Amino acid sequence: MTSTATRPRGGRARAAIAAKTLRTDRWWLAPLITVIGLGAWVTYATVRVFMHRDYWVPQYHYLTPFYSPCVTERCVEGSSHFGSFLPGWWIIPDAALTLPFLLLFRLTCYYYRKAYYRSFWLSPPACAVPDGHKSYSGETRFPLLGQNLHRYFFYAAAIISLINTWDAIYAFHSPKGFGFGLGNVILLVNVVMLWAYTISCHSCRHIIGGRLKHFSAHPVRYKAWTFVSKLNVRHMQLAWITLGTLALTDFYVMAVAAGWFNDLRFIN
């Protein structure tokens, strides 16, 4: 490794370092874990979305979030809470109305952007590690310019969280009447976590508390902003937790729907 001082035109002296990076710790571990985690989740979700089966438990009204709301002609009886008006072609997901928006919401999320820029695009892979690309245009050009649409996807995600909330409430009412099982607990935990992730969004924080000159003149918005800010510092954790709860919820509903095991019932 050689190190000499250079003085760029109009700038301060910088060290000219031949080594790719001076970091000696395992800086590559975090990007690697991200690639494995996100890769595994996307693979699981893609397989499940195109299975077109085992997403609805008629005895307990459990509907997996990957099929909510179910809107194709293929949807099994009872699973379509908002009508089934799209053709049942294999390529069309049964939740075709919501999945694209959820995907775009997560793809444009500030945290996920950092995660996949670093791990998949190596741009840059870690602090003080050079970019894997020669040029860098940031998010100033198409298609990354579209990342600015995140705030609009937030509104769509909030509506979808409402739909998931309805699914969780509806699941307490089985054809036999009020019922309560482990599936309800899982659906409920998932929906609470989804709300926490959605509300902790940076766009949400700005919508609630941004563009104000004086918080003292807006005490309610200040309180809401304070609450959202507390969640916001956990946004990364919530991003991962919700991937976990979504997959777990889907897997549980699939397992019960497929008859691999019975739902653990506490009431009815």
**Shortest approach of ligand FES to residue 98 CB, angstroms?**
15
Span interacting with ligand FES, options 16-24, 58-66, 105-113, 127-135, rule CB under 6 A: 105-113
Phi-psi group of 177: left, alpha or beta (phi > 0 → left; psi -120 to 50 → alpha; rest → beta) = left
Instruction: Give 14's contacts (C-beta < 8 A, 6+ positions apart).
Output: 5, 6, 7, 8
**Residue entry with tokens 């309800």:** 184
**Shortest approach of ligand FES to residue 110 CB, angstroms?**
4
Contact call for residue 109 and ligand FES (CB under 6 A): yes
Residue placing its CB nearer to ligand FES in the complex, 110 or 166: 110
**Shortest approach of ligand FES to residue 169 CB, angstroms?**
24
The CB-based long-range contact list for 88-93 (8 Å cut-off, 24+ gap) reads 90/50, 90/52, 93/49, 93/50, 93/67
**Shortest approach of ligand FES to residue 65 CB, angstroms?**
16
Distance between CA atoms of residues 33 and 126, nearest Å: 13
Decide: 121 and 114 in contact? Cβ < 8 Å: no
Alpha-carbon separation of residue 253 from 58, 66, 121, 200, 242 (angstroms): 11, 10, 35, 27, 16
Span interacting with ligand FES, options 58-66, 70-78, 104-112, 249-257, rule CB under 6 A: 104-112
**Shortest approach of ligand FES to residue 238 CB, angstroms?**
9
**Shortest approach of ligand FES to residue 101 CB, angstroms?**
12
Residues 157-216 that bind ligand FES (CB under 6 A): 201-203
- Give the x/- contact pattern for ligand FES in 232-261, rule: CB under 6 A: ---x--------------------------
Residue placing its CB nearer to ligand FES in the complex, 174 or 203: 203
Alpha-carbon separation of residue 42 from 48, 107, 232 (angstroms): 10, 12, 24
Distance between CA atoms of residues 188 and 171, nearest Å: 10
Contact call for residue 155 and ligand FES (CB under 6 A): no
Interface positions with ligand FES (CB under 6 A)? 109-111, 150, 154, 201-203, 235
